[in-house]
Structures are given as C-alpha cells and as structure tokens.
Structure 1
Amino acid sequence: MSRAARTLPSAAPARPRGTRAGARHGSRRQGRQPMHETMWVRSRAEAPARFVFSGGGTGGHLAPGLAVAGALTAGGAAEAVFFTGRRPGEQSFTRPNGIRMCRVPLAQPRGLGLRFAVELAVRAGTILRIMQTLRPQACLGLGGYVSLPGIAAALLSGTRVVLLEQNAVAGRVNRMLAPFVDCVCTAFPETEGLGRAPRVVHTGNPVREDFVRQRHAGPPRAARSWKKIAVLGGSQGARALNEAMIAALPRLAALRMNLRIVHAAGPDAEEVRNAYARWGIAADTAAFFPDIAARIRDADLAIARAGGSTLAELLVLGIPAVLVPYPFARDGHQAANAAWAAREGVAVAYEQRAFGPEEVAAAIKSLDTRAEAWSARARRARELGRPDAALAVACAARGAYTGGENR
C-alpha cells in the first residue's frame, strides 16, 4: 500500500453479536474461548478470500472487471462483490459464478459541486459499512466516476486498492487516485497520466473468458470464398458507424463481394437490419450480442470504435481493424488507443469526420486487393493479444504479481 494510503484509519474488527469486551463466560474459566466466539473465528478462517470491485457504467469498464473476478473465483477459491451503477448496459453481461452485484447508483457529476460531494459521501459510507463486514483482501477500481465511492470506502477501511486502467491515457478518476493506491494495472505498455502512482505494471487489458476460449478454438480463418466483417460500436452502439455502414451499402453491393457481416448496432439495430435486407447483403444484426466472441472469432476485418476493451478483444482474437475513435471521449483516450494500434501495425485509424461510405467500401475492397497487408496485421494483432491479462491482474489483487513495472 502506498504511504498515503497507510495513513488512513483502519476500521476496527467487528465483535460478534451478543458479546462485550471483558465479559466473563463459563467456558473461559476452563481456559477455552466461548463457543460462539470459536464458531465466529472458524467461519472467518474457512471462508474464501473476498474481493470487491468498484466501477461499471459501460461495458468498457465492467467487462474487464468480470474477467478478473472470474479468474479470482475459479474453483471457489474466492468470492467477488461488485459495487456498480444501474445503467442498462450493465445487465447485458453474463456474470461468472461466485459473483454478487450490489447496485450503488451515483449521479454523473456536473462539475465537483456540493450535491455530488454529498451523494459521494453517502454512497461511500454505505459501502464502508458493507466492507467492514466483508473484510475484503483487496478492492479493484475499474475506472470512471462510478468507482469513486467504493475506492474511497476501501482507502478509509485500510483495504488494499488496485486500479485497472484500460486506455492509453488514464481517466480522471484513476489519475486522481493513483498516488494513494497500491498498484495500477495498465492495458498499454505506456500510459499517460500515472506519473505519481507508486507502482504501475503492464498486465494487458483483461478480456472475458469467451474470447480466450475462442482464441484457442482452432485456426481463426480457413480458406473460403467469402469475407466476414465485424462492425462493433461498443456496448452501447455507435450512431456514426451505423450511418457510415448504411450509406456504404450501395457501394458494397456494387463490389459484388461475398460478404457476411456481424453488426452490433445498439439502439439502431432495427434500422440497420432493414438496410442490409434492402440491399441483399447477408448480415447478423442485433443491439448487443452476448456471444460476440464466437460470432466474430473468424472475422477478416473489424470496423470499430477504439475503446480499450474492444481493442483488447480484437487483439486476443487476432482481428485487424479499421478504428474510428469516439471524438468526444474525455481526454481523447480513444484517439490515443487508435494511434497506438496504428503504430503497432494492427489497425488503420480514421477521425470520425473523415470516415464515410467511401472509406468503408475502400477498406472492405482492400481485403482482396491488399490481402497480404491485412494478413500481416492479423498476425501482429494476435502477437499483441494478452489472453492471460485477467490472471495477471488477479495476481496483482492478491499482492503476488511478479511482472515488471512500467510507466
């Protein structure tokens, strides 16, 4: 734990209900602990280790946390409790066994006003009381303002805190909290904004077990006469990508390529599905695919946003990409993610304002005209994928990570 965190007060251990300090019991006269105290100590000793996770709001924050929780709780070795918000997208993710979800809604801050500060204090107090009962081994912060109450409660209770940073530019909450925590686990080899953290380790960004299984399911792409395109707008869809694909359909039809498209379109799913049908292009379209890893494992190309989790999943599966960063992301973290991917030779990046139907058609056509270049990007993507990232972060949570440190 960092020096700053050590100075925070620790919560006193709870005394078993029905006892008081200095109470006399018949069993103590015989040199033994009272039976109810012995049972309480034994139940604590036999209970599996507990870990709490704080964060959520979007799939980019929640999915890596669920992956780490799955690694920690495998085989019943531990229990995990999530303190998350109540956004609809959080309900779409399958929870591994041994995980409990505790909804602690926190309004999105409109500046650091008094109202948000009071709500944060109330939520942190609620979680602190729960933590004093759970006595977790560590708290993992998943980023975003939703993570603040749980991390504040962990620091106040003296619990070890590990932050997970999914992007090439650290988010505001992680930058603010980094000096006070034990460790920050990063998705990228270099992450901007963590200079004051006591320890920064590059673990990679954890991906769900489905993606790891699909990576090892066999050769990703067999020789075939058709191309599979994955269009991924993140857990909540991307209107700009949907519009670009719809506008590109006349051009794609004119290419006369045998295409199969998997399109996670968010709220626009019905409109997008109808557009594909009008142009006679085979497409599997939905707002969200729970089994997305199996659907895209053999994709030749992804057209996607550049969120940290989306990029990590594509790398694990070895899928090259055309990345269109969300232009309004705070601190430009998606642009930084896309720039890194382009430098590493796994993606082509476009600004949203420069990405339209012509760029969609040109990228898909180049799967034929520049096949070797895309094959090289696919090989490089697979090399950079970190299927072991969830285990690495789990080791950091247990205080047993032995990997190298970085900045």
Structure 2
Amino acid sequence: MAETRAPLVIVAAGGSGGHLFPAEALTVALKARGVRVELATDARAAKFAQNFPADAVIAFPAATPSGRSPLAALKAAATLARGFFAAFAAIRGRRPAVIVGFGGYPTVPPLLAAGLLRIPIVVHEQNAVLGRANLLLSNWATLIATGFPEVGNVPEKARARLAHVGNPVRPAVLAAAGTPLAPPGEADAFNLVVTGGSQGARVMSDIVPPAVELLPQDLRGRLSIVQQARAEDVERVRETYARLGVRAEIAPFFTDLPQRMATAHLVIGRAGASTVAELAVIGRAAILVPLPGALDQDQAANAAVLVRAGAASAVAQKDFSPAWLAEELAARLRDPAALRRAGEAARKAGYPDAADRLAERVLGVARGETASEKRSGT
C-alpha cells in the first residue's frame, strides 16, 4: 500500500517579527500534528528566517504601497505584480491544503494566487483593528482568525467568517511564562525592561534615560535596566546610565527577550500585537507607547485592551516626556502590590493556547469546515 503523504500548509508572513512570530508559533503547532509547513515571505524577511521551523522557505518580491508619490506607488504595484506571478507558479506546483496569511503586504501575492487557484485561505489578524492587507484579502478568506475578541474595521459581509483564537506566541514565550512574578521589596532591585519593537524606537532612547535621571537617588539606585536601542543610540544611552551609576545592559536586539521580560517587574514598550500578546501570556505590568501616525491606529487599539484589563498604562508619544515617565516610575517603585495586580490582570488577558486553537481551525478549513460550523474558536 502506498504511504499517504502528510498534508502541506503554507504560512505567509513577512515584513517584521510581529508577523513572523505568530507564524512561527503556528508552524510549531502544525508540525506537532504531523503537518508539513512551508513559509512564504518576502526577500527582506527571508534573511531573518534561517531558523524558522518550516520545511522550506519560499521568497517572493513584495513591497508596501505608500502615499509618498505616484511613482513610488507605481513601483510598489509593479513589485507586487511580479510577486503575484512568482507566487502563482510556486503555489500551483505545491497545491497546499490551505494557506494562512499573517498580514502585511508580503502576504498579498501568495494569498491572491491561492484564491485564483481555489485553495482555501485563512487570514490571521494580530491587531485589534483589521489591517489594510488583511482587509483586502478578507474578500477571499474562508476564515478570518483574530488575536483579540473585538476587532475593528471588519466589513459587515466578513463578520460571519470571524473566529477569535488569540495571538500565537513563540515557544520561548511559553517557556518564559513559567517564571513567577516576585514583586520587589522596598530596598530590592527593580528590573526594568525597555523595548521598541523589532525595529527599535528612538523615542525610548530619548525619553527613558532622562526620566531615570529625574528620579530621587534612592529610587534610581534600585534600578536594573535592560534596554533595546537602535545601534546608533546604544553608546549615548549606555553613557547616560553609567554617569548615573545605574546598572544597565543596552543592545539593539536581545535574542532572549521573552525571558528578560519574565524577570522584569515593569516593561516599557510599543504596543505591537506580538508585544501585547507576550506581555499577557507572561503576565507583566507595562507602560505602552503606541506607534504614532499609523493610519489604522492599531497599536493604540492593542494597548487599550491591556489598559481596560488593568494590566497597563498607555500614553501617546506626544505626551511621553521625561517628567511624565519619572512620575510613573516613582509610583511603581513605591507600590509593588500594584505591579502584582497588573501582572495578574495581564495574564488573565492572555491566550497561551492560541497557536493550538489556530492550528485546529486551520486543519478544519483544510477538511472543508467553515467559520460558522465552529464559531467559538475553542
């Protein structure tokens, strides 16, 4: 008897860790179920995907349209068209059981190709607002899986295909989630983690060190800081903390960031979907500074979820000043019980089983199930 080959699922993600991390988590969950998984991404993200647990990585040309100029928009459209034809040929040859897109314009060529080839499509939206690429692809999706229970900007005709599963987090995050929170005593070291997302954030280098300098000496001396800074900012941030006598480790990127977040008493960062999901699963208090200027204000919507849960404070970047932050830090240094309450509230808002929930929904679509046949997502 001929051996039956395992089904193939293609996950499409690119552009940033915010899209690649949940794709990685789903890949691990699918492979644990005996499914073959390949990653479709753009050339930029492919450079960072050497350790991605897929059986193969397929790179397509991709670009993000912007309003910079008509010429730039035309070039982006031409690049996406080239990506579409390359994706169409690759996907037609592979004939996956289903293709899963995680947002961002690098997913548009492969998912449009899958739609024309009548291959089932699942879209996963990590943010609390449906992004522009996923909004476009929602017309062809069999299932629109969401990271948050409530998602804005969803067309009325697509609502019947929604299923809330949570945001899948990497195995490293699940491992870090086992670290218990130990609120510091009045004289104990206070672990502060500052992160700016996968690309870093200059505002953190501009605001956090001056805020620390404004703290009373007794509070400042308790701080132990891990801070992500852009390469060009590392030295000035390091010099400021050294001048202040503050223990600090500064780097553009930390490969073990989930574990560092787990040892933190407080995290200051952006409000990207992955950051919010990881904070919730690990269960840590946070001060969130949503990325300004986004058309969809997705990070502001993400942050609002943790704010409503009592797990975080959120501040607009224009209001994120050294004086404001110094006052916030002082309040938290003096009230460890509030840190515990916020951490517990964060954990209640998390979905550590999101990758498994999404994997089951993806396999259901591969079997021909629709969103309405399993509305709860459980």
TM-score, length of structure 2 as denominator length: 0.88
Instruction: State how far apart, in whole Å, the 1-side matches of 2:110 and 2:49 are.
Output: 21
Tell me if 1:85 matches 2:42: yes
Q: 1:101 aligns with which of 53, 57, 61?
A: 57
Q: Which residue of 1 aligns with 2:254?
A: 289
Q: Which residue of 1 aligns with 2:124?
A: 164
Q: Which residue of 1 aligns with 2:368?
A: none
Is contact 1:327–1:351 with CA below 8 Å preserved after alignment?
yes
Instruction: State how far apart, in whole Å, the 1-side matches of 2:53 and 2:220 are.
Output: 46
Deviation for aligned residue 1:276: 1.9
How many residue pairs match? The answer is 361
Is contact 1:148–1:173 with CA below 8 Å preserved after alignment?
yes
TM-score, length of structure 1 as denominator length: 0.82
User: CA offsets per residue over residues 221-260 of structure 1, 9 Å max, x none?
Assistant: 2656111111110001011122101222322463344111
Q: Which residue of 2 aligns with 1:14?
A: none
Mapping 1:127-138, distance limit 5 Å: 127-138=87-98
Instruction: State how far apart, in whole Å, the 2-side matches of 1:259 and 1:94 are.
Output: 36
Q: Which residue of 2 aligns with 1:203?
A: 165
User: What is the SS of the residue equivalent to 2:242?
Assistant: helix
Is contact 2:142–2:161 with CA below 8 Å preserved after alignment?
yes
Q: Which residue of 2 aligns with 1:213?
A: 175
Question: What is the alpha-carbon root mean square deviation over aligned residues?
Answer: 2.3
Amino acid at match of 1:234: G
User: What is the SS of the residue equivalent to 1:290?
Assistant: coil
Instruction: State how far apart, in whole Å, the 1-side matches of 2:128 and 2:352 are.
Output: 19
Percent sequence identity over aligned pairs: 35
Amino acid at match of 2:61: P
Instruction: State how far apart, in whole Å, the 2-side matches of 1:299 and 1:378 are.
Output: 11
Comparing 122-131 with 207-216, greater Cα deviation is found at 122-131
User: What is the SS of the residue equivalent to 2:351?
Assistant: coil
Stretches of structure 2 lacking an aligned partner (at least 5 in a row):
366-370
Instruction: State how far apart, in whole Å, the 1-side matches of 2:87 and 2:128 are.
Output: 30
User: CA offsets per residue over residues 287-311 of structure 1, 9 Å max, x none?
Assistant: 1111111222121111111111100
Q: 1:64 aligns with which of 13, 22, 39?
A: 22
User: What is the SS of the residue equivalent to 1:180?
Assistant: coil
Instruction: State how far apart, in whole Å, the 2-side matches of 1:403 and 1:227 are.
Output: 45
Amino acid at match of 1:190: E
Structure 1 97/110 Cα, relative in aligned 2: closer, same or farther at 3 Å? closer
Structure 1 144/230 Cα, relative in aligned 2: closer, same or farther at 3 Å? same
Mapping 1:176-187, distance limit 5 Å: 176-187=136-147
Deviation for aligned residue 1:80: 1.7
Q: 1:232 aligns with which of 186, 189, 195?
A: 195
Is contact 2:145–2:358 with CA below 8 Å preserved after alignment?
yes
**Structure number with larger C-alpha Rg:** 1
Tell me if 1:153 matches 2:116: no
Deviation for aligned residue 1:373: 2.4
Q: Which residue of 2 aligns with 1:380?
A: 345
Instruction: State how far apart, in whole Å, the 2-side matches of 1:387 and 1:94 are.
Output: 25
Q: 2:206 aligns with which of 237, 243, 249?
A: 243
Instruction: State how far apart, in whole Å, the 2-side matches of 1:180 and 1:316 are.
Output: 31
Instruction: State how far apart, in whole Å, the 1-side matches of 2:175 and 2:212 are.
Output: 33
User: What is the SS of the residue equivalent to 2:138?
Assistant: helix
Q: Which residue of 2 aligns with 1:16?
A: none
Structure 1 222/347 Cα, relative in aligned 2: closer, same or farther at 3 Å? closer
Instruction: State how far apart, in whole Å, the 1-side matches of 2:215 and 2:55 are.
Output: 44
Instruction: State how far apart, in whole Å, the 2-side matches of 1:110 and 1:215 are.
Output: 38
Stretches of structure 1 lacking an aligned partner (at least 5 in a row):
1-37
